[in-house]
């Protein structure tokens, strides 16, 4: 949907030749054959000046295909059901893709539906209904002239605002949406930095978690690995980057601590309430199951059977499943470091009772509290090591060695290939390494953690929480906050701490 020489929108036909690329706009129609017999056509349009280098790819599947086949296009995908409400959500998501400068795609087995949603998206982006109908009628590869009335009704439905004089891609001149962080004082900014930083790290490391080498990560996301979100889902009409079970559990923990603080509950009452929350999470997690670890599920199963919370976790369970949800203790009890440490340790026992897991939770709670309070980085890291040594000297030693490697300039390829983070002591040691390297740069800490061959989402969660608590949410890229799953809900929760 570039602009023709007469200034009107045009759509190339299958037998037409695209105009020569220009600074302003270019378009290309092509037919492709994918493996498995899937035939499809694409119309790709870029408009560098008019749409911030955005492009739309219109895809019409002629025979049913699989996602892997469609992925050959290397574009964003929207499945298109017939439900009217879902259709509206897809239109909004497609428009958001274009506004953000991402490649976008509409996939539909029925060839009348793909142009319909694109026409609706054009109106969402600022075109008039007449422009959208003109774009999809006339010289359409689908013979869309016979569908013009359908398109006109669709794009007009629910869009009665006066836009007749609004040019296409008017969004490029629209004001930015309100800043979700506006009005936060320093304390609230740091609380939000920890909560959002942890969740952003979780989502950033989500797709790389099972990629088993740094070379493989770089080959899959060239040239330097992931530099932003690469995995998306649709959530209530928004295209968002999903986090994992790490953030799901951390939210359960944070809500339980706030529940206990409101009631001045003691440790046993708070942990009993947390146990019920984790049992509910294991059965019906908000957002669905996100590949939780076996130790977490086993502990929850024991809790559901009535095993006391201090005995539910495996005695030798030393994975990182408890430390990734331990940062809330450092926020809620930042003014009581002893309590933050002790309660974080006790909470680990619901699912992980190995000393390395207890030590990692102690260190994480103390580190987040120190970061939130604004303590100097060397003091915060030394107190993390000291806290770990109180529960597992082995864990404290590994953390001290990782800190030394960061100070000595040992490359992340070397250190983070050894500290993969599946075990709790490795995860917290890797977190120390990342914080020591990037104490004031949450983006670099998160991306470095995400581009690792180990438990990348967990490492990025820990790094995001620690650095985020130190520098605040305003230091996080705005786009990462906006595109994060349930970012508004997490921000609201952080504001209640």
Domain boundaries, the chain: 26-173, 186-494
CA gap 372, 326 in Å, rounded: 14
**Range name among 24-28, 112-116, 271-275, 483-487 with the lowest pLDDT average:** 24-28
The backbone torsions φ and ψ at residue 491, rounded to the nearest 5 degrees and listed phi first, read -65, -45
Least Cα distance to 226 among 245, 207, 247 occurs for 207
pLDDT for position 81:
41
Tell me the pLDDT of the chain averaged across its residues.
Answer: 77
Query: Residue 91's pLDDT band (boundaries 50, 70, 90)?
Result: low
Of residues 103 and 350, more confidence is placed in 350
**Range name among 12-16, 208-212, 239-243, 305-309 with the lowest pLDDT average:** 12-16
Evaluate if residue 465 carries a pLDDT over 80: yes
10 Å CB burial of residue 132 (0-12, 13-18, 19+) is: buried
**Range name among 98-112, 117-131, 172-186, 427-441 with the lowest pLDDT average:** 98-112
Domain 26-173 is found in CATH 3.40.50:
no
Looking at residues 123-151, what average pLDDT do you find? 51
**Range name among 120-129, 349-358, 379-388, 406-415 with the lowest pLDDT average:** 120-129
pLDDT for position 172:
32
> pLDDT tens across 373-393, in order?
999 999 999 999 999 999 999
pLDDT for position 174:
40
Evaluate if residue 228 carries a pLDDT over 80: yes
Verdict on whether the full-model pTM lies above 0.75: no
Of residues 124 and 133, more confidence is placed in 124
Contact 203, 243 (CB under 8 A): yes
pLDDT for position 291:
87
Query: Residue 178's pLDDT band (boundaries 50, 70, 90)?
Result: confident
Query: Residue 227's pLDDT band (boundaries 50, 70, 90)?
Result: very high
pLDDT for position 179:
84
* 186-494 CATH, one of 1.10.4080.10, 1.10.3210.10, 1.10.260.40, 3.30.1950.10: 1.10.4080.10
Whole-number percent of the chain with pLDDT over 90: 61
**Range name among 175-184, 294-303, 339-348 with the lowest pLDDT average:** 175-184
Looking at residues 342-362, what average pLDDT do you find? 98
pLDDT for position 238:
86
Evaluate if residue 490 carries a pLDDT over 90: yes
pLDDT for position 202:
98
Instruction: Classify residue 313 as left (phi > 0), alpha (psi -120 to 50) or beta.
Output: beta
Whole-number percent of the chain with pLDDT over 70: 64
pLDDT for position 134:
59
Evaluate if residue 149 carries a pLDDT over 60: no
Evaluate if residue 168 carries a pLDDT over 60: no
Of residues 431 and 58, more confidence is placed in 431
């Amino acid at each position: 949907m570039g602009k023709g020489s007469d200034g009107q929108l045009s759509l190339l036909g299958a037998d037409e030749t695209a105009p020569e690329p220009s600074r302003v706009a270019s378009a290309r129609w092509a037919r492709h054959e994918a493996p498995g017999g899937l035939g499809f056509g694409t119309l790709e349009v870029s408009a560098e000046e008019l749409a911030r280098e955005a492009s739309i790819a219109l895809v019409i599947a002629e025979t049913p295909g699989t996602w892997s086949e469609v992925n050959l296009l290397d574009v964003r995908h929207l499945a298109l059901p017939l439900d009217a409400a879902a259709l509206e959500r897809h239109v909004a998501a497609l428009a958001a893709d274009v506004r953000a400068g991402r490649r976008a795609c509409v996939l539909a087995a029925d060839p009348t539906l793909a142009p319909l949603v694109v026409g609706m998206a054009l109106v969402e982006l600022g075109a008039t209904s007449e422009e959208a109908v003109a774009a999809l009628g006339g010289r359409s590869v689908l013979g869309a002239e016979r569908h013009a009335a359908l398109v006109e009704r669709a794009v007009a439905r629910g869009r009665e605002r006066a836009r007749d004089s609004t040019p296409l891609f008017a969004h490029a001149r629209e004001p930015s949406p309100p800043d979700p962080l506006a009005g936060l004082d320093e304390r609230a900014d740091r609380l939000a930095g920890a909560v959002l930083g942890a969740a952003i790290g979780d989502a950033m490391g989500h797709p790389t978690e099972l990629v088993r080498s740094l070379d493989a990560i770089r080959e899959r996301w060239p040239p330097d690995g992931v530099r932003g979100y690469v995995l998306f889902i649709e959530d209530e009409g928004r295209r968002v980057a999903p986090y994992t079970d790490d953030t799901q559990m951390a939210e359960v923990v944070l809500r339980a601590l706030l529940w206990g603080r409101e009631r001045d509950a003691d440790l046993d009452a708070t942990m009993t309430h947390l146990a019920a929350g984790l049992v509910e999470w294991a059965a019906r997690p908000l957002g669905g199951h996100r590949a939780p670890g076996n130790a977490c599920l086993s502990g929850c199963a024991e809790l559901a059977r009535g095993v006391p919370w201090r005995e539910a976790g495996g005695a030798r369970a030393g994975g990182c499943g408890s430390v990734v949800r331990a940062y809330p203790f450092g926020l809620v009890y930042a003014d009581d470091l002893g309590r933050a440490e002790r309660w974080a340790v006790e909470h680990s026992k619901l699912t992980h009772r190995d000393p390395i897991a207890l030590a990692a939770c102690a260190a994480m709670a103390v580190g987040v509290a120190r970061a939130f309070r604004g303590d100097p980085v060397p003091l915060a890291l030394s107190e993390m090591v000291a806290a770990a040594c109180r529960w597992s000297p082995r864990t404290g030693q590994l953390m001290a060695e990782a800190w030394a490697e960061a100070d000595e300039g040992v490359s992340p390829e070397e250190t983070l290939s050894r500290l993969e983070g599946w075990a709790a002591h490795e995860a917290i040691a890797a977190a120390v390494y990342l914080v020591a390297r990037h104490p004031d740069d949450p983006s670099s800490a998160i991306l470095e953690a995400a581009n690792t061959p180990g438990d990348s989402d967990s490492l990025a969660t820990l790094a995001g929480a620690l650095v985020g608590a130190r520098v605040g949410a305003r230091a996080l890229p705005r786009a990462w906050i906006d595109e994060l799953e349930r970012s508004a809900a997490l921000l609201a929760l952080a504001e209640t701490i």
